[in-house]
Each structure stands twice: as structure tokens, then as C-alpha cells.
Chains A and B, each alone.
Chain A
Amino acid sequence: MGFEYAPAPESRSIVDIKPSYGLFVNGEFVDGHGKSFKTISPATEEVLAEVAEADESDVDAAVKAARRAYEKVWGPMPGRERAKYLYRIARIIQERSRELAVLESLDNGKPIKESRDVDVPTVAAHFFYYAGWADKLEYAGRGADPRPLGVAGQVIPWNFPLLMLAWKIAPALACGNTVVLKPAETTPLTALLFAEICQQADLPPGVVNIVTGAGATGQALVGHAGVDKVAFTGSTEVGKAIARAVAGTDKKVTLELGGKAANVVFDDAPLDQAVEGIVNGIFFNQGHVCCAGSRLLVQESVADELLAKLKRRMSTLRVGDPLDKNTDIGAINSAEQLAKIRDLSEIGESEGAGRWSPACDLPTTGFWFPPTLFTGVSQAHRIAREEIFGPVLSVLTFRTPSEAVEKANNTPYGLSAGVWTEKGSRILSMANQLRAGVVWANTFNKFDPTSPFGGFKESGYGREGGRHGLEAYLK
């Protein structure tokens, strides 16, 4: 008889989702002038709430509120006072962590164990970290009197809704800027709960403004003349459009975009941990991770052994209800994203790569895709070049270190890379040669508020996190 884990659902009673939400402007929830849109649970397709869509006039009101707050309150406020607001926010996030985690999993589809153990704790840590910078900016190595930029317009994606919010808002506020943030269309709810947290912390009105909506709202924000700084995390395609939109202006820009990271496994690697790193690299958060290790580059001499281990490990992954504490892989965030993953996977097959997934029952409603790997992939295959942003791994092989470097770097992206080998000098040599902003050696997908994150090449520019993350919000 097998050891079948009974369902272990996290209770959703801790969250109180309202039937509809307005925009958060100048410290208050207000009606938008655009249409409203529905946000659903991708695991069940259940409608969670109606959310206001901000039109240009709403964005304008939010930017003006942010400007007023910047000039009258937040800009002039001593750093140590700003710090205390941020510490307060960090504490409230910790106190309400379960609520935030459940809401995040509901709206996004990610497993509760990730929202609970990774996303929300990292969000609180991020606010704690940057809170401490607010009154120490003169020690950041950017001159004796670094100044804020003004109003930051921030547009974030749906894969880590709350974490990306933290990455944007915490450093901006610490440096004395005010913000207007647009969460992704499919995942607005935790940003709106964060707005409540700002109220709870008595953050002065206008310091944080949240405008919900889709692409047009984002465009209105990025293009608004009253915005001094644009920060965007999302697709490379939209990132390029933003870079064009701000051309010729004085707006400072940071872009965190796509990736097609190579995870390079040498034959002397700690294989069992490498398998964990590969699994974590591509199946964490359903593969909806810009720095996902979507290309496994394995040395030929160990490829069969590693693949056997990897397949066995993949067979233990549990796909299903995001709120079940034993779920490893949750729901794909949207029907649109699911269609994209399916399309690229079919292209992978039609281009001749070998497709494999473990046996796994997928729920009948909602958006689901099994953990999948493709073997026999070459650099020419589209699945080796394009960001799939789903739980799909392309397996390629190499023979020598130089071939590994060449293949790893053979992409327009340069966000992250992984190296697995027990040989120290080889790690350092690989780390030097890999053209990527983050190199994980004998680990993968690790994040920390103190550690800068961001890409080379078409993965964007600027860094978020750490001392380097301050640069984006200071002049």
C-alpha cells in the first residue's frame, strides 16, 4: 500500500476578499473612471473580485497625489522618520503574513508553501532591509548628499505580485521618493491589501498609490510627464517599448526583463543537489520566473545518470490545489499564459525534441500544465531560445567547459545562470565567463534583500536589492 498524502488545505477563511476594489490614490480607495475587470483564481476560474481599471485621468490623479506627497511630506521628512514607517510596514506584513500568503496563492495560483515560505517572508525582509537605509543614504557610496528622484512610476508582473511590489516600493520610499504602482492585471489583490497595510501604518497619503489595470494603464503611467523614474519588471518586449517611450526624456529607468538561463552541470557535480537545483530552477513558481533555469546544460558523460535522477525526482512533484500545503506546482497564472506554454511545447515536439512528463492527474477546471522536460534539444530549437515562462525544461549537453560557456552565453538574455561542480577553481572561472547578472553556483533561485538582482544584455538594466538597488532611486 502506498503512502498517499491526504489533502492538507490551508484555510482561506483568513482572507476577506471584497466583491469589488477601487484604486488607492492619496491614501484612500476611490472609484476609477475606466471599466472594471474581474480577477480570478487560476486554479478554479472562480471570480475573486471586480477591480477598477485606472484610465489616464486616474493615473494623472495618482501621479499628482504622489507629487504633492513628495514635495510636502515625504521628500522633506528626515530619513530616520521614513525608516520608521518602513519598519512599521515590515512588521505589519509579518503579522499578516498568513493572510497575504493565502491571498497571493488564491489570486496567482502559486503553491501556498511558496507564498508562505518564500514570497511573503522575503517581502517583509525587503522592507526591513531598505527601512534601515533610509537614514544612512550618505553612507551608500553615492556622495555626501544623495537626493531622491521624485515620483516613481512602477509596473510589476504577475509572477511574484507582492515580492515585486516590495522590490519596487521599499527602496523607492527609503530613498525619499513617492510611488505610483501598477500591479499586473491578473494579480491585483495583494497590492490592494498592501494599500490597506499602508493605511494601517498611517503612511502619509499619496506616498504610495496603487492603480490597477492592464497595459493601457501601465502606458499612461510610464508616459506621464510627472513621473521622474520608471521601474518595470516584465517581458523584454514591453521593456523595449518602455525604453522607446522614455527616450529623450530625463526619466531614469530600470528594467528587469526576461531570461533563458543556463543551468550548467559538470560531471563532478554534487548530483543529488544538482537535481534539486534543476527542479527548483525550473519548477519553482510553475516556472513563472524570469531567472528560471530553463536550459539544462549537462556534461555528456553524466547526462544519462542525471536525467534518470531528474525524472525520478520529477515524478514526486505534486501538482494541484495551490492552497494544499503539499502542492509543489500550482496553477498556471492565466489562460493566455497556458496557451503560450502549450504552443511552445508543441513547437518543441514538432522540432523533434523528446517530450517527457511524469504521470500526473491535472484538475479539470483552472489552468494547468505538467512539469515537462525536453531532451535532444539543440541551440537552434525555439524552446532553447525563447522564454517559455512555464514548467518546461530544455535539456542540452556539452563536452567541455568552453562549450558550456559558449552555449550558456548564446542568447540575447543575460539574467542568471547556474553552475554545478565540486571544483572550486572551475566555479570561479565559469562565474567569470557567464554573461549574467546572477550566477548561482551549486545552488539556484536564491534571493535576498541584500543581494542585487538584474540582468545583462536584453534581460534589462539596473539592479534591485542590496546597496546597488539604491542607485535606481537616487541622484
Chain B
Amino acid sequence: MSGTSTIPDPGLEDATRSEASLRRFLHGLPGVDQVGAEARAAGLGTRSIKTSAKEFALDLAIRMVDLTTLEGQDTPGKVRALASKAMRPDPADPSCPSVAAVCVYPDMVATVKDTLGAAGGASGVHVAAVATAFPSGRAALDVKLADTRDAVEAGADEIDMVIDRGAFLSGRYQQVFDEIVATKRACARPSGDDAHLKVILETGELQTYDNVRRASWLAMMAGADFIKTSTGKVQPAATLPVTMIMLEAVRDFREQTGQMVGVKPAGGIRTAKDAIKYLVTVNEVAGQDWLDPDWFRFGASTLLNDLLMQRTKMRTGRYSGPDYFTLD
């Protein structure tokens, strides 16, 4: 076996020793009952977040956004505008926090770096790049790794990789594991300032919550810094129950290993109301430690404007409209 994880837990070290042990481990995880899991998520979704709690949640959600554009039609101009918005989401209100990161294809990393750097680089906004033949992951490993190294060399702080869902669904867990380990290595910099690795499970293709739980553990054991639901290119993308299952996984992983792993739902979260449901879920399932942009992100684009509109409503007492926020 080629890959080794850096997991301190000897039990997990055993689990990753061979294809067979990996399979036994993943299939030995407690099952997920779909109906029960969805009922629990729906219950969390009924929490009513008002006044001071809502203000707190809206600002936190803004700080957690990975402002994303992943289109064939992306241009440097579009990306620069997005990066500017990331730093100052609400130009009318300097108290509005900046978002967590800008998420782009590898070839746009330099453009984002320039824009952020030109502003003095004090915003704290990170650059995230999707890599590994995003979104399908259908390429040879050396291509995927080259893709990753390109982005790292261009200055990406974070790499959003995709797993090989075909390999996962056909039970070749070792292959998926090894690719994550290899990508993690490709995130390394000589300076030691390694790019953080987000592992996209593409839960819409994994289909079952049992698979989501197994893929989450597989990614964490292989060294993921974050586990992410979706590319945004497959429906369904992020859902509350899927995110809840992943939050349970990171919670249980810390319980077992002491290591914290972040969670990023991406795709389909468009309203502040939805975002708040996710934060409630983070709070009650994984716990307060995850209520931080270092440990929870939203992969989104249109979400930001709704968060801003709701934030303005909270502060001015009247409903806002889309004309008052930038379209980028």
C-alpha cells in the first residue's frame, strides 16, 4: 500500500493497511437510517433564529462563504470583481465582514491573488482552487496531481479536490484513499505553508447516506482538512441531511482521533434562511467549535447577496432589494 495517513489513532492506522481492512472498517461504521436522518435534519431546520441570534448568524455566515465562480465563461475581469466583492461584500457598510475565500479554477488563482494583494492583502480572504480534473475527476492521477501543483504554485491557499466516485462506487476504496493522500502531498510547499485540502465527495453521486458517511471517513483518514459535499455541478448538491451526516462524521472523528476536520456544503444554498439552518445544524450536531470559518464554509455565490440583504434588514429595520447589492 502506498499511502499512509498521519492519523494518531492506531486503530485507524490498522484500518488503512489494506483494501480489505479499509472495506471492513468503512462497512463497519454504524449505518444511517435515511428516514430518521432526514427527520432529524428537518427538525433542526425548524429552529427559529431571531434578533440578536440572527445578527450573529448572518455575520458568521458571511465570514464562512467561499465565494465561488466555476464557469467556462469566467474571465479575469469577472474574477477580479468577485475578489473585490469578497473583501468588501457590502461597500455601503464597512462593518460588514469579508468572506472566507474566493473559489476559482486553477488558472484564475493568480488573478485572485493579484486583486487581493492589490488591496493590501489584509482582508484575510483566502484563495481556493478546485483541482484534480474538477468536476468529474475523470483523468489520470498524474494529470490530477499536476493540476493540483499548478494551483499550489500559483498561490492557492486551499485546494478543493474531487474524489473518484467511480472508484468509490465500485468499491475500490484503496484507490480513492491513495489519490487523496497523493493530492495532499501535492498540496505541500517547501515553506511548510501547505495548502489546505478540501475533499469533495460529490454526495449527489454517492446516493446513500451510508456512502456519505463512509466517504467522509475515508477522506478524513487520508488526511483531508475539510470534507465538502459537492462540486455544484451535480444535482442534488448540498442538502441539510447530507451536511448533517458529514458533521456527525467530523464530530465522531475528533472523538476518536482528537483531530478536527472542517465541513463545507456547496451548491444549492441560496438564502440566508437556509444558511442559518446549516449553522443551527453545525451548532447542535458538531458543536460550537465548528462555528468558525476555519471549520465550516459555504460554497456559494448567490447566497452572499441574500445574506447581505437580510443583514441590511436587521440593521435598518426595512426590507432591502437586489438593486442595492452588487451582482458579482
Chain A residues, CB < 8 A from B280: 3
3 A-B pairs with least C-beta separation: A273-B36, A8-B48, A325-B48
Name which residue of chain A comes closest to B60, CB basis. Answer: A3
| Chain B proximity of A91: nearest CB distance (Å) | 25
A443 B36 Cβ-Cβ under 8 A:
yes
For B284, give its contact among A273, A316, A325, A422 (CB under 8 Å): A316
Chain B residues, CB < 8 A from A271: 30
Chain B positions 14-71 with a Cβ under 8 Å from a chain A Cβ: 30-33, 35-37, 39-40, 46-54, 56-57, 60
Q: How far is the CA of A7 from the CA of B283 in the complex (A)?
A: 17
**B194 is an interface residue with CB less than 8 A from chain A:** no
- B-side residues, CB < 8 A to A, are 30-33, 35-37, 39-40, 46-54, 56-57, 60, 248, 255, 279-280, 283-284, 288, 291
Q: How far is the CA of A7 from the CA of B30 in the complex (A)?
A: 36
Chain A positions 429-443 with a Cβ under 8 Å from a chain B Cβ: 442-443
**A6 is an interface residue with CB less than 8 A from chain B:** yes
Q: How far is the CA of A276 from the CA of B245 in the complex (A)?
A: 13
Q: How far is the CA of A113 from the CA of B40 in the complex (A)?
A: 14
Q: Assess A326 versus B36: contact at CB under 8 Å? Given A3-B57, A4-B53, A272-B30.
A: no
Q: Assess A3 versus B56: contact at CB under 8 Å? Given A113-B46, A277-B36, A325-B48.
A: yes
For B50, give its contact among A1, A7, A277, A443 (CB under 8 Å): A7
The contact sample of 30 A-B pairs, CB cut-off 8 A, is: A1-B56, A2-B291, A3-B53, A3-B56, A3-B57, A3-B60, A3-B283, A5-B48, A5-B50, A6-B52, A6-B53, A7-B50, A8-B49, A113-B46, A268-B31, A269-B30, A269-B31, A270-B36, A272-B40, A272-B248, A273-B32, A273-B36, A276-B40, A316-B284, A325-B46, A325-B47, A422-B31, A442-B33, A442-B35, A443-B35
**A81 is an interface residue with CB less than 8 A from chain B:** no
Interface residues of chain B: helix, strand, loop or mixed (majority):
helix
Chain B residues, CB < 8 A from A5: 47-50, 53
A3 B33 Cβ-Cβ under 8 A:
no
**A202 is an interface residue with CB less than 8 A from chain B:** no
| Chain B proximity of A323: nearest CB distance (Å) | 11
Chain A residues, CB < 8 A from B291: 2-3
Chain B residues, CB < 8 A from A113: 46
B32 A272 Cβ-Cβ under 8 A:
yes
Other than the given A3-B56, A269-B31, A272-B30, 8 more pairs (CB < 8 A) read A2-B288, A2-B291, A6-B50, A8-B50, A270-B30, A273-B40, A326-B48, A442-B36
**A117 is an interface residue with CB less than 8 A from chain B:** yes
| Chain A proximity of B247: nearest CB distance (Å) | 10
| Chain B proximity of A10: nearest CB distance (Å) | 9
Q: How far is the CA of A113 from the CA of B50 in the complex (A)?
A: 16
Name which residue of chain A comes closest to B35, CB basis. Answer: A443
Chain A residues, CB < 8 A from B37: 272-273
B51 A270 Cβ-Cβ under 8 A:
no
Chain A residues, CB < 8 A from B35: 442-443
Chain A residues, CB < 8 A from B60: 3
Q: How far is the CA of A315 from the CA of B54 in the complex (A)?
A: 22
Chain B residues, CB < 8 A from A272: 30, 32, 36-37, 40, 248
Q: How far is the CA of A323 from the CA of B31 in the complex (A)?
A: 36
